[in-house]
Amino acid sequence: MRIDKLLANVGYGSRKEVKSLLKSGAVIVNEQVVKDAKAHVDPEVDHVTVHNEQVVYREFIYLMMNKPQGLISATEDNFQETVIDILEPEDAAMEPFPVGRLDKDTEGLLLITNDGQLAHQLLSPKKHVPKTYFAVINSEVTESDIEEFSKGVTLDDGYHTKPGELKILKSGLTSDIELTIMEGKFHQVKRMFEAVGKRVVYLKRISMGSLALDEGLELGEYRELTDDELGALRTGQQ
């Protein structure tokens, strides 16, 4: 790949900034100063330093974010702040994207990566990756809702969902529940509750496949996946 692309990808600034870095003579490839932004390097083989600091190239980045309300799950938007906007510049430089969408007012687990193959594997309807949500509902959730959800419910557009596993954590004037679903239709959790005449007033995703939200992450914080988390996600363990 081109040296300017490599350096921009690992966080040495924009292509323009990287160009002047190269011009300044700070970049050494295999013990030779390289000033040409178009020069090609093999990041797996060539030894690259900037100001004597070794450049470690990684192709992929895997981040777990505790998404706060108010951000949209997109990479770019002209008007609204996205989950990518709050990443550190060196992470954003690797051009990751959110795997699936959480609504603007939904919190919780969001995987952000630039590994398209893994994203596809997790999002493919054929793979039936379970996603579990914690929600607060505006009224009393009952055993009959558990029964209804276990058979699937019919949404406002006529679509009949796959079975959902509903657990009641607290039932009363408002209820706390956990719902596990295997698909990801638009606003699915909210619409499933609307189908039984109830409303979601708070929604948070707590897991996706084998990956559970790290409760140590504050809203808006994120961290890299551990090797174990990534390995389990890749092999589809749950």
Give residues in contact with ligand URA (CB under 6 A): 102-103, 106, 187-190, 203
Question: Which candidate in 103, 105, 176, 214 is catalytic?
Answer: 103
CB of 193 to ligand URA, least distance (A): 9
Strand partners, 170: 176
Helical H segments across 24-115, by residue range = 89-92
User: How far from 231 is each of 5, 211, 225, 228, CA to CA, in Å?
Assistant: 28, 10, 10, 5
| Residue 22 or 208 having the CB closest to ligand URA | 208
Q: Does the active-site annotation cover 103?
A: yes
CB of 122 to ligand URA, least distance (A): 14
| Residue 7 or 102 having the CB closest to ligand URA | 102
| Residue 43 or 184 having the CB closest to ligand URA | 184
β pairing state of 53-54 and 222-224: unpaired
Contact 158, 196 (CB under 8 A): no
CB of 162 to ligand URA, least distance (A): 14
CB of 195 to ligand URA, least distance (A): 12
Contact 111, 98 (CB under 8 A): yes
Instruction: Residue 51: count other Cβ atoms within 10 Å of its Cβ.
Output: 10
Q: Helix (H, G, I), strand (E, B), or coil: what is residue 12?
A: coil
| Residue 35 or 187 having the CB closest to ligand URA | 187
Taking Cα atoms as reference points, which of 177, 119, 123, 140 lies closest to residue 164?
A: 177
Catalytic residues: 103
